[in-house]
Amino acid sequence: MQHNRLMRRFAVYCILFVFTAMGIMLYYSANKIIVVADVAQDEVVQASGGDAAGEAAVIDKNQIYIDRNSQNTNYFCIPMPESVKAEEVTVENHYMDQELWVSITPKEMADQGQFYESHGVYGNCENVLNGHFDVEKKRICLRFALTDVYEYQSIFENNTLYIEFMSPKEAYDKIVVIDPAYGAEDSGIVKDTVEGKTITLDIAKALKEKLDETDIKVYYTRMDDSNPADSSRVRLAAATKADMLIRIEVGGADSTKVYGTETVYNSRFFIPGFGSVELADLLEREVVTAISGKANGLLEATEADVVISEATIPAAAVKVGYLTNGQEYILLQRQDYIERIADGIYQAILKAYE
C-alpha cells in the first residue's frame, strides 16, 4: 500500500515538473527572448567589399538615425524588420576598429534594406558614436562606431535586438593581447618567398587553438594579412586593461651565423611583482625549452620597438628565430616547429597567471 502511494506521489511530481517546464518554454517562446549568436573579430572572415564570404558588393550605404533622447534603459536597442528571426542575426565584435557589426541575413531580401531608412536605433546610446547600414545581395550589415573597446550581451525579443555593453574587465578576469607582428605591406624579415608576417600569424593561429580551451580571454591585433598601426596595437592593450601584451616577431641579421631566441621587454615602465622583465623571462625560458633551442637572452626595447616601448602593461616581444639563418629558415617553415613555439608561449602565459 505504502509503495503504491509513493508511486502515485512520484507520478504527480513528474506531471507537475513537465507542465512547469512546458510553461517556461511557452513563456519564452511567446516572448521570443533569444540570445543572438556573437562572434569576435578573430572569428570573422574579413573581405574587402561585399559580404563575409566575399560574394557580394555593397549596393547602398546610409546613416542610421540615433535617438539619444530615450535613455530609460541600460540597453542599446536596434529594431528589426518584422519577418527577421533571431537565427538570421549575428553580432560581430570588430574590436580593433572599435566597431560593432550586426549582420542580418533574411530569407527574403526584397525591400528589407529600406527598413533602416525610416527606423533608427534608441535606448542607451552613450557608447555609440554613429552608425550606418550596407545593403548587400545576401545580407544587411549595420555598423556602429563605438567610443571604446567593449564586450556585450545581446537578446532578441519582440523584433528588437537589445545590446548591453560592458568593459572587458567586467566580462573577464583574465585578459591577454597577442600581437603577431607585421602584416599587409610590411612583410617583416623576408628570405626567398618566406615572409616573417606569415610565420607570426601561423604561430598566433596555433596559439589560439590552445588558448581557446582556457578561461583566458584573448584579443588578437590581427588574424589575417592586415597591418594595424602600432598605435592601434598599443591602444587595444590599454582599452582592454589586459594583464599582458605578447608580441610575436621573427629575427634577421647580416650574418647567417646568428640564430636563437631572444625577448625584448619594456624597461622604462616598471611594474612591481610581475612586470615586463618577468614576462620576458618566462617567454624566453618556455619557448627555448619547447623548441630545444638557443637562448640569446633578454634585451631592453629601443625606440624602434614602438609597441613594446609604449605599452603601459607588462609587455614583451619574443623573436622566435632568424630567417637569415639557414637552419632556422627551414625550421620556421615546419608546422610541428610552429606548434612547439606556440606551446612555449602558451606555457609562459599559464605560468604567468600562477
Residues 209-260: tens digit of each pLDDT: 999 999 999 999 999 999 999 999 999 999 999 999 999 999 999 999 999 9
Which of the pair, 15 or 275, is modelled with greater confidence?
275
**What was the pLDDT predicted at 13?**
52
Q: How far apart are CA 27 and CA 22, in angstroms?
A: 8
**What was the pLDDT predicted at 42?**
82
**What was the pLDDT predicted at 216?**
98
**What was the pLDDT predicted at 156?**
95
* Structural domains for the chain: 34-166 (2.60.40), 170-353 (3.40.630.40)
**What was the pLDDT predicted at 26?**
40
Q: What is the pLDDT of residues 59-95, one digit of tens each?
A: 445 899 999 987 678 999 999 998 899 999 999 999 9
Report the share of the chain in percent with pLDDT over 70. 83
Q: pTM for the full model?
A: 0.85
pLDDT at residue 15 is higher than 70: no
pLDDT band at residue 54, thresholds of 50, 70 and 90?
very low
Lowest mean per-residue pLDDT among 12-16, 88-92, 214-218, 315-319: 12-16
Q: Contact, 83 vs 169, CB < 8 A? A: no
Q: Contact, 183 vs 233, CB < 8 A? A: no
Q: What is the pLDDT of residues 139-198, one digit of tens each?
A: 899 999 999 999 999 999 999 999 999 999 999 999 999 999 999 999 999 999 999 999
